[in-house]
A and B are shown apart, each in its own frame.
Chain A
Amino acid sequence: MSSQPKQFERLSGWRLFFNTIAARAYPRLIGQQRETSWLLFDVFLPLFSVAAYVYLYRAMDAPEEYVGFVLIGGAMTAFWLNVLWSMSSQLFWEKEQGNLSLYIIAPNSMMAVLLGMAMGGMLATCLRAIVILGLGSWLFQVSYQVVNFGQLFVVFILAMVALYGMGMMTSSLFLLFGREAWHISNLAQEPIYLAAGFYFPVKSLGFWIAAGASIIPLTLALDAMRQLSYPGGEEVGFLPVNVEIAILMVLAVVFVVSAKLLLDKMEKLAVREGRLTEGRR
C-alpha cells in the first residue's frame, strides 16, 4: 500500500505544527471580530475590579507604589485567565461540541492546537493587559521608573513560556477528567491570586508560602517586575531578580517538556478509558 496520497505534498513536522497553531487561532480571531461584546466585559470591565483594589489601598493610605503593584498584577491576571479558560478548560467545551475527537484523530499535535487556542485569545488578553496597565496607570496617575528594561523583557518572555507550558500541562487533565477539571480551573483563580501575590508583595506571606507559590510562573515574574519597576523595589522583593530569572528559565523548560509528556500520557489514558468522546457532567 502507498504511504502517502499522490496529488499534493502535505505539510508535516514543524510546518504542520505552526500551520495548526494558525488554523486553531483563526476561529478565535474571527469570532472576536464578529462578536465584539468581549471588548466591554473582557477588556474594559475588568479594569474596574482592579480599581477596587487600588481604591482599597488608597483608603488605607498605602504608598503609591502599591497602586502600581495592583495594576501590574491585574495586567498579568489577563494572561493567567487566558491560560485557564482559553486553553485548559477549552478542551472540555471541544469535547462537548464533538470537536475533540476530530483533533485527536488528526495528525497534528495537541500542543499546537492548545497554543492556537491561546494565541487566538492573545489579542483580547493583550488588550486587557494594556488597558489595565496603560489606562489604569494614566487614570490613577501612577508613574514607573524601570530600573532595567532588558531584564524586564526577559522576565516577561520567560514568564509567558513557563505559563503557557504550565497551561498545556494542566489541559491534559481535561482530556481525562472533563467537568471536574473545569472546577479545578475555577479553583485556580482567587487562591492563586492570593498565593502568588497578585495584588501585594508575595514576601508578605512568609518565605515558605512564597517559595511554594513560586511553582506558579507568575509569582516570581510579578515579584521581579515589581522590583524592576521602582528604584528600591528590592525591599519588597522575595528573591533577587537574577535568581528569579534563573528559576523562571528552569520552570519554562520543565513545564514545556512536561506538557509534551503529560499530553501524550493523558491522551493514551483517555483512549484506554474511552473518555475522549463521552459527555461527562
Chain B
Amino acid sequence: MALKTATATERGAGRAETWRSFKMATWLGWQIESNWADPFLFAIYSFAKPLASAAILVVMYGVITGGAYNDPLFPYVYLGNTFYIYVGAVMTGVSWAVIADREEYKTLKYIYVAPVEIPIYLMGRGVARFITGSFAVIITLLAGVLFLHLPIDPAKVQWGLFFVSLFIGVVMLAMMGLLLGSLSLILVHHAGFLGEAVAGALYVFSGAIFPLSVLPPAMQFIGYLIPITYWLELLRRSLVGGVAEAFPTLQGLSNTQLLGILLGLSLVFGVISIFVFRACNRRALDRGLIDRTTNY
C-alpha cells in the first residue's frame, strides 16, 4: 500500500486540530488553576504569595537605602519583579502540569492517545498559567502604585508598546514552558520543582531586579541571550520610560530594536523548544514513561 500524503482538506483539518488542542489545553489549565472562584485559594495565589515576594524586595531595599523609594532603582526592581511573576507562573505551571497529569490525575496517557497535539497542549497550559498569573501581576502593580508611589502615570504609559510586548511575552513564555514541559516528560516526580528552579536561575540573568551591569561580564553575556531580559526592559520602558533610561545596560537600543531582538530570540527559543520536545517525547515513548508514577 502506497504512503498517503495529506490532502488540502486534511491539512485544513490539521490546523483545526491544532487550534482545538490549544483551546482545550488553555481551558483545562484555566479550570485547574483559576482560583478566583475560591476566595481562599485566590488569597493565596493572587495576594499573599506575590505581595510577599514583592515585600521581601521592598524591605531589603528599605533597610539598605533608608526608604529612598524615589530613586529610579526602586521602580526598576519592583516592576521587574512584578512582571517576573509571569515567568515563574508559566515555568512552574507547565512542569507541574506534566507531573500532575502523569502521576496524580493519571490523564497524560489519555491525552497522548487522543488526537491532541502535545506541544500545543503544553503551550496551552502555559498560556492558561499566564492568564491566571495576571491577577497576581495586576494586584502587585496596584499595591505598588497605591502604597509605594510607583511612578506609573496612565497618561504617559505607552500602551501600544506595552500590549505588544506583553503579547510577544505570552508566546515567548509559552515556548519556554514547552521546553520545560518536555524535560518533565522524561524526569521523575521531583521535576515538579524544575520550573521553580529554572525560573529562580533566570531571575539572576534576566536583569529582573537589578541592572545587568551589576553582574560579572561572563554572566552579563548570558543575560543578553535570554529574551526575558528584553521583554522586561520593554515593559519597564512602556510603563515608566524615564526610569528605564536611568540604567545603561540596554540604553543604546531603541524600542524597535528591542522588539526585534525579543522577537528574534523568541523564535530561536521556539525552535530549540520544538527540538527538545521531539527528543524528549521520543525518549518518553521509547521508554514507556508516559504513564509511570515516580514519587518516592
Tell me the A residues contacting B by CB distance below 8 Å.
27-28, 30-31, 35, 37-38, 40-42, 45-46, 48-49, 51-53, 55-62, 66, 85, 93-94, 96-97, 180, 183-184, 186-187, 189-191, 193-194, 198-201, 204-205
In the complex, the chain A residue whose C-beta lies closest to that of B57 is A56
Task: List residues of chain B with CB within 8 A of the CB of A183.
Answer: 40-41, 44-45
Q: Report B104 CB to chain A, min CB distance, Å.
A: 6
A to B CB contacts below 8 Å, 8 in the list: A48-B204, A55-B210, A55-B214, A59-B210, A60-B73, A190-B52, A193-B56, A194-B52
Q: Report A193 CB to chain B, min CB distance, Å.
A: 6
- For the complex, what is the distance from the CA of A198 to the CA of B55, rounded to whole Å? 12
Known contacts A52-B209, A190-B49: A199-B188 contact under CB 8 Å = no
B56 close to A190 (CB less than 8 A):
yes
B63 close to A186 (CB less than 8 A):
no
- For the complex, what is the distance from the CA of A13 to the CA of B81, rounded to whole Å? 51
In the complex, the chain B residue whose C-beta lies closest to that of A93 is B295
A190 close to B53 (CB less than 8 A):
yes
B63 close to A201 (CB less than 8 A):
yes
Q: Report A128 CB to chain B, min CB distance, Å.
A: 11
Q: Report B36 CB to chain A, min CB distance, Å.
A: 14
A55 close to B204 (CB less than 8 A):
yes
B48 close to A191 (CB less than 8 A):
yes
Known contacts A49-B201, A56-B210: A200-B60 contact under CB 8 Å = yes
B200 close to A49 (CB less than 8 A):
yes
Chain B residues 49 to 88 lying within 8 A of chain A, measured CB to CB, are 49-50, 52-53, 55-57, 59-65, 73, 77
Instruction: Say whether B211 faces chain A, with CB atoms less than 8 Å apart.
Output: yes
B211 close to A59 (CB less than 8 A):
yes
Question: What 10 A-B pairs are tightest by C-beta distance, nearest first?
Answer: A49-B200, A31-B296, A41-B197, A48-B201, A45-B197, A190-B52, A59-B210, A191-B52, A52-B203, A62-B64
B192-223 interface bits toward A, Cβ cutoff 8 Å, 1 = contact, 0 = none: 01100110111111001111001100000000
Task: List residues of chain B with CB within 8 A of the CB of A30.
Answer: 296
Partner of A194, one of B55, B187, B293: B55
B188 close to A35 (CB less than 8 A):
yes
Task: List residues of chain A with CB within 8 A of the CB of B191.
Answer: 37, 41
Task: List residues of chain B with CB within 8 A of the CB of A40.
Answer: 197
Partner of A52, one of B52, B189, B194, B204: B204
- For the complex, what is the distance from the CA of A56 to the CA of B56, rounded to whole Å? 12
B52 close to A193 (CB less than 8 A):
yes
Q: Report B75 CB to chain A, min CB distance, Å.
A: 14
B187 close to A35 (CB less than 8 A):
yes
A37 close to B59 (CB less than 8 A):
no
Known contacts A52-B204, A183-B44, A199-B60: A59-B73 contact under CB 8 Å = yes
Q: Report A194 CB to chain B, min CB distance, Å.
A: 5
A49 close to B204 (CB less than 8 A):
yes
Known contacts A93-B295, A193-B56, A194-B55: A57-B200 contact under CB 8 Å = no
B204 close to A60 (CB less than 8 A):
no
Known contacts A31-B188, A190-B52, A191-B52: A45-B198 contact under CB 8 Å = yes
Task: List residues of chain A with CB within 8 A of the CB of B189.
Answer: 93
Instruction: Say whether B11 faces chain A, with CB atoms less than 8 Å apart.
Output: no
